[in-house]
Amino acid sequence: MPALSGGCGFCLSHHIRCDLLKDQSPCLTCRDYGIKCPPGDETDDSVSMTDAGDSPMEEVIHTPEAHESRFDIERIHWMTPLDHYKNVAHDLLGFPVPGIPDIPQPTYKTTLPPFIQKLPSLADEDAEYLTAKGVFSLPDERLQNELLRTFVLHVHPYLPVLDLPPFLQAIADNNGHSSVSLLLMYAVMFSAIAFVDPTHIQRAGYTSRKAARQEFFRKARVLYDFDVESDRIVLIQTVLLMTYWHENQDDPKDFRHWLEIALSQAALAMPIKEQEQRTRASTFTSRGLWKRLWWCMYTRDRLNALNLRRSPVIKDAEFTVPLPTLSDFDMGTYPPSVLAMPILGACEVLRSPVQQRHLATMFIEKARLCCTISGIIFPITNAAVFAPAVFTHYIAALDDWHASLPKEVQYHSPPERKSLSEGERALFAYRAWLEMIYLAASGALHRQNQAQSQKSVQSEPTPNSNSNPSGDGIHSVTQSIAGVADGLNQLDLVHCLPTTTVGLLTPVLATHFMNIRSETPDLWRNAFQSLYQCLKVLEKLGEVYELAESMAGFFQAAICGDADVNSNTNTGTSESDREGRETAFLQRTLTKDELAGFARLVGGRTGLQNCR
C-alpha cells in the first residue's frame, strides 16, 4: 500500500486517508470514534505499520485512569481501514453492511443535548460513576437559560473568560454543528448560580442557593478529576470560574490551587513571551481572549492577595502582558438565534453594545487598579516597614486612579430603584464593587501605616504623638465602604457582589466594632450605624456563602456579648470547625494589632485568646 502523506498519527499508522487540515483537530475519523487525534510525524511523509506498533497506545486514546494496564487498553476497539469503509457505507446506506460485525458502542447512555461536545472514550465503570453523580443530566431549559442570563450580567463582566457570542450561539442552535464542553458548561452554571433568583433554585428542587452551588461545583469538579477535557483553553476557562469556590479556608484545593492550575495550563498553551509577539488571531482563539485570560488570572490573584493578606502567585517581573483594550472584547449585536432564546434573549446587555462597552471598560479599569494594588501587597502581607514617602506615593497612586476614571465607571449614590433597568442595575453593582475595592486598598494602607506609627510612638514618643492621620483615614474609609454597602442593600443588589466581598468587609466590621466601644460620642454613634449597614450586607451574602454566614453570626454574637459565637449559626459543620474557620479568617484579614485589640474586646474566645 503506498504511503499516505499528511494527516494525524492514527490515520497514518493505519493507512487511512485523513481529512485533518492544518490547525484543525480532531479529524473526522478520530472524532467519529471518540479518540484523541495524535499529531502525525512532520519530519517524515510516511509512517510504517512497524513504527506505529512501537508507539504506546496511551498516547493515542484518552484514558481517565492513569494506572490502567496496557492489556485493558488493548481491549478497546481500534479502527482498521475496513472498519472505516464499513462506517462510511453505513452512513450512506443507512443500514449495516452484511458480513461485517458492528463496531462496539459505549454501553452507557446519556441525555445530553446536541450542543454538548462528545466526551472522550470512558471505561464502563467510569461512565457508570459519572452517571450516578448526575453529570449527564443537565438542569431543565428554563433554569439553564436563567443561569446563562445571570452569567452574562454578573459573572462575565467581572471575569470575561469566554468568547461569549460563539458559546451562546452553540447552545441556541443546539444542532451539533458547534458545541461546548460539558465541563465548561457546569463551571459556567456553578459560577452563575450564586447570583440567580432563589425562586428558580427552589423550583428546581434545591433547598437553597448554597446547596445548589455546592451541587454544581461538585459536578464540575468530578468531571475535572476524570480528565474529560484536554483543550487547554477550556481548562483555563473552567478553573478560573472554579476559583469562585473557596468556602473552606483549610481545603487544599482552594482558590490558590485552581489559580495555579490555570497558570500552568496557560504557560504551556500560550507563554507570556509568545503572547507578546503574537500579532494575529489563531484558528482556535483570538488574541483578545488570551489577553483577557491572562488579566483574569492577574486580577483574581491580586484581589485575593489584598483581601486575605497573602502573597500573590503571579510575580510582577514575569507578567508583561499589555493592558486589555476595548478591541479585546466581543461587543455588538448577538446572533438572532441567541436573541430568540427564552429568558436569555431578553437580556438587556446582549442587546445593548453601549452597555457591553461600559462593562468592558470597567474590567479594564479593574486591571489598572490591580496594577496599583500590586505595589502595596508586599508591605501589608509581610507587615513591612515602609517610609512615609512610600505610603504617600501609594495613596496618591490610588487617588490618581480614582480621579481618572471614565464617567461611565465613576460611582455615584444610588438613584431611585424604579429608574434602573436590568442592565443599569448590573452596571451600578460593578461601579459600587470597584469603589469598595479602591476604598479597601486605601484602608489597608492606612491600617498598616497606623500600626507602624503606634510602634514608633511607643518606642520614641514625640510632641505630635497624639495626632493620628492614618486613624482619621481609616474612619473615613470604613464610613465610605459602609455607605456603598448600604446603597447596594437599598437597591437589593447585594447578591450581585462576588465572593471577595466577604474578605473586604471583615476588617471594616472589626474596625466599627472597636469604634463602638469608643468614649467619643460621634465616633461610636457613626460606627454603630456603619456596623449595622455592613452587617446587613454580610447577612445577605450569607444566603449564598457559608463563610459569610459564619462571619455574620460571629459579629452578631460578639456585639451581644454572647460567649458562644456559633450558637446562632447552622452551617452543617461542627462548632470547633466553625470557630477555627472564623479565627483563621480574622487572622488573615486583620493586622496583628487589630486582631489583638479585637480579641481584647471580644474576650472568652478560645481561638482569639492566643492572638492577644
**521-544 confidence digits (pLDDT tens):** 777 777 888 888 888 999 999 888
Q: Kindly state whether residue 325 falls inside one of the protein's structural domains.
A: yes
Q: What is the pLDDT of residues 319-334, one digit of tens each?
A: 989 999 999 998 998 9
Closest by CA position to 18, among listed 2, 36, 40 = 40
What burial class does residue 41 get, using C-beta atoms within 10 Å of its C-beta: 0-12 exposed, 13-18 middle, 19+ buried? middle
Based on the fold, state whether residues 341 and 443 are members of the same structural domain.
no
Predicted local distance difference test score (pLDDT) of residue 81: 44
Based on the fold, state whether residues 306 and 432 are members of the same structural domain.
no
Quick one: cell of 135?
453529570
Predicted local distance difference test score (pLDDT) of residue 80: 41
Alpha carbon separation from 603 to 169, 506, 555, 565, 589 (Å, rounded): 57, 18, 13, 11, 19
Q: In whole angstroms, give the CA distance from residue 497 to residue 534.
A: 13
Based on the fold, state whether residues 83 and 140 are members of the same structural domain.
no
Which one-letter DSSP state was computed for residue 325?
-
For cell 434573549, name the residue: 345
Quick one: cell of 595?
486582631
Q: How far is CA 58 from the centre of its chain?
A: 32
Q: In whole angstroms, give the CA distance from residue 600 to residue 462.
A: 27
Closest by CA position to 324, among listed 503, 570, 157 = 157
Residues of the chain predicted below pLDDT 70? 1-6, 10, 12-17, 19-25, 28-29, 31-36, 38-110, 247-251, 271-285, 383-385, 416-418, 451-471, 519, 561-583, 585-595, 597-612
Question: Which residues form the domain of 51?
Answer: 9-93
Q: Kindly state whether residue 364 falls inside one of the protein's structural domains.
A: no
Based on the fold, state whether residues 352 and 408 are members of the same structural domain.
no
Based on the fold, state whether residues 32 and 89 are members of the same structural domain.
yes
List the Cα angle 188/552/492 in 5-degree steps. Answer: 55
Q: In whole angstroms, give the CA distance from residue 499 to residue 538.
A: 11
Based on the fold, state whether residues 330 and 405 are members of the same structural domain.
no
Q: Kindly state whether residue 539 falls inside one of the protein's structural domains.
A: yes
Long-range contacts at 265-273 (CB < 8 A, ≥ 24 apart): 265/232, 265/235, 265/236, 265/239, 266/232, 266/236, 266/293, 266/294, 266/297, 268/232, 269/232, 269/233, 269/236, 272/318, 272/319, 272/320, 272/321
Spatial neighbors of 522 by CB under 8 A, at least 6 apart, are none
Spatial neighbors of 105 by CB under 8 A, at least 6 apart, are none
Based on the fold, state whether residues 157 and 220 are members of the same structural domain.
yes
Q: Which amino acid is at 605?
A: R
Q: In whole angstroms, give the CA distance from residue 259 to residue 221.
A: 14
Q: Which amino acid is at 371?
A: C
Q: In whole angstroms, give the CA distance from residue 178 to residue 171.
A: 8
Based on the fold, state whether residues 159 and 265 are members of the same structural domain.
yes
Based on the fold, state whether residues 174 and 37 are members of the same structural domain.
no
Closest by CA position to 567, among listed 559, 82, 358, 575 = 575
Q: Which of 70, 93, 116 marks a domain boundary?
A: 93
Q: Answer whether 312's CB lies under 8 Å from 302's CB.
A: yes
Predicted local distance difference test score (pLDDT) of residue 132: 92
Predicted local distance difference test score (pLDDT) of residue 108: 53
Q: Kindly state whether residue 105 falls inside one of the protein's structural domains.
A: no
Strand partners, 116: 180
Q: Kindly state whether residue 580 falls inside one of the protein's structural domains.
A: yes
Predicted local distance difference test score (pLDDT) of residue 610: 52
Based on the fold, state whether residues 23 and 166 are members of the same structural domain.
no
Q: Among positive and negative, which fits the CA dihedral 223, 224, 229, 233?
A: positive
Q: Kindly state whether residue 372 falls inside one of the protein's structural domains.
A: no
Closest by CA position to 546, among listed 566, 526, 563 = 566
For cell 447512555, name the residue: 109
Q: Which of 67, 93, 119 marks a domain boundary?
A: 93
Alpha helices, H only, 404-499: 422-459, 469-490
Based on the fold, state whether residues 341 and 397 are members of the same structural domain.
no
Q: Answer whether 376's CB lies under 8 Å from 394's CB.
A: yes
Taking each helix axis from N to C end, the angle separating 141-154 and 182-193, rounded to the nearest 10 degrees, works out to 70
Task: Give me the phi and psi of 510, to 5 degrees please.
Answer: -65, -40
Q: In whole angstroms, give the CA distance from residue 478 to residue 527.
A: 9
Q: Kindly state whether residue 375 falls inside one of the protein's structural domains.
A: no
Closest by CA position to 235, among listed 187, 191, 276, 283 = 187
Number of structural domains (the chain) is 3
Based on the fold, state whether residues 54 and 157 are members of the same structural domain.
no
For cell 462506517, name the residue: 87
What burial class does residue 339 get, using C-beta atoms within 10 Å of its C-beta: 0-12 exposed, 13-18 middle, 19+ buried? middle
For cell 513504527, name the residue: 51
Strand partners, 180: 116
Ranges assigned E (strand) in 180-224: none
Quick one: cell of 402?
480614582
Q: Kindly state whether residue 602 falls inside one of the protein's structural domains.
A: yes
DSSP labels for 510-529?
HHHHHHTT-S-HHHHHHHHH
Quick one: cell of 282?
489563531
Quick one: cell of 344?
436569555
